[in-house]
Chain A
Amino acid sequence: MTLRMGAALAALLGILVSAYLWLYKIGAIATIACGNGGCERVQASPWSRFLGIDVALIGLLGYCALFGMTLLSLQPKYAAARWPIQALLALSAGAVAFTLYLKYLEFFVIGSVCRWCVISAVLISLFFVLVVLEHRRMRRTPA
């Protein structure tokens, strides 16, 4: 499995996790399998929305964008192109920065940890690492 394939799989899992969180947020799911009540507290907090938009929805749209972009980068005609990976690097760096902000809120402001949000944080970090490795690999490869 290539690094790009791994990144696409991580983004797809991220879509599923953020969709689950968003469905709970909008009331389509009665209960969330969280175990410690942290997800309920985080989702009920004022910080579950960012600029008036559900954070889970932002995550869902972000993962969809990353997933689509990664699938595009997997097409043979873009195999040697650098711009898809550079775009993924920029997008995922922004996503990681936003995730760090959310983790700060969870740990230090809300005082509750949402396990599904942690899983999402792991997935976006994994995605970022895979894209960084792919970017480095491409830089070493002669154009």
Chain B
Amino acid sequence: MAGSQPSLKRFYLVILGVAVVGAVLLWWVTRPKGPTSIPIAVDIQPSDTAGFQGYVLGPDSAPVTVIEYADYQCPACQSFDLVQFPTVRERLVSTGRIRYIYRDYPLDSIHQWARLAAHAAACVDEQGKFWEFKDALYRSQTEWAFSRNAGTRFRETAGGLGVDLPAYDECMSSLRYAGRIQAGQTEGTRLGVNATPTFIIGGRLYQRLGTYDQMRAVVDSLSQNP
């Protein structure tokens, strides 16, 4: 039965104790760990950008270089990555017609998590899984774009790709790519980028190059090898 009053009182104390211990544990695990944002105001060191042109696909000998400036949280970039980029990669990169360079251009004022995503991608790149991670981030964009802590999703995505998570965590905590991301964005702005995705092909800037066919037409005109 329900027990006598003294034992009921003792029981309430036990319940209170368990509830308090549980609440403290939940508070402890919900404390933010690792960065939840990547600083913009960083001193850019020469070492930040030394030897880094962006994330490169395709041979150096390709006749045309396509540079994409993109933001992981930008819906148009997502659309390009999911719909057009596989064809671009198959028909232009894999055939050696272009060298493709992906650069970060986080639009911080409208995309809260774009810079954090860029830093996560840089950390995943250390383990050679950048392109898989980039695709995974764009595929899951709607799941993390409005979440309270997108860093959780980025880490989860990295883990799902087999990334060594302790090394990833160390990289994220170090913020070591903050300067490089800022340098890349500054360079993009200097070149005239102000929206994403923006492409630079043969030294010219294209902001409305939404399809494979449009990109191929530009590449054809530059390579004279349609």
Chain A contacts to B: CB under 8 angstroms: 1-2, 4-5, 8-9, 12-13, 15-16, 19-20, 23-24, 26-31, 33, 37, 40-41, 44, 73-76, 78-80, 141
Contacts and interface: CB of A to CB of B under 8 A. Distances in A.
A1 B11 contact: yes
A4 B2 CA distance: 7
A5 B7 CA distance: 10
B26 A30 contact: no
Contacts of B176: none
Q: Chain B interface secondary structure, helix, strand, loop or mixed? A: helix
B147 A26 contact: yes
Contacts of A44: 156, 160
B33 A30 contact: yes
B159 A40 contact: yes
B2 A78 contact: yes
A31 B152 CA distance: 7
Interface of B: 1-3, 5, 7-8, 11, 14-15, 18-19, 22, 25-26, 29-30, 32-34, 144, 147-153, 155-156, 159-160
Contacts of A24: 152
A23 B22 CA distance: 13
Given A2-B3, A8-B15, A76-B5, A27 B148 contact: yes
A52 to B, nearest CB: 15
B26 A40 contact: no
A1 B153 CA distance: 43
B151 to A, nearest CB: 6
Contacts of B155: 30-31
Nearest to A76: B2
A141 B29 CA distance: 46
A26 B149 CA distance: 8
A111 to B, nearest CB: 14
B2 A30 contact: no
A19 B26 contact: yes
A7 to B, nearest CB: 11
Given A8-B15, A30-B34, A23 B26 contact: yes
B218 to A, nearest CB: 38
Contact of B26 (A16, A31, A79): A16
A73 B2 contact: yes
Per CB-CB distance, the 6 closest pairs between chain A and chain B, nearest first, are A16-B22, A79-B2, A27-B149, A27-B147, A27-B152, A30-B152
Given A20-B29, A44-B156, A75-B2, A26 B148 contact: yes
A33 B160 CA distance: 15
A33 B140 CA distance: 23
Nearest to B36: A30
A40 B19 contact: no
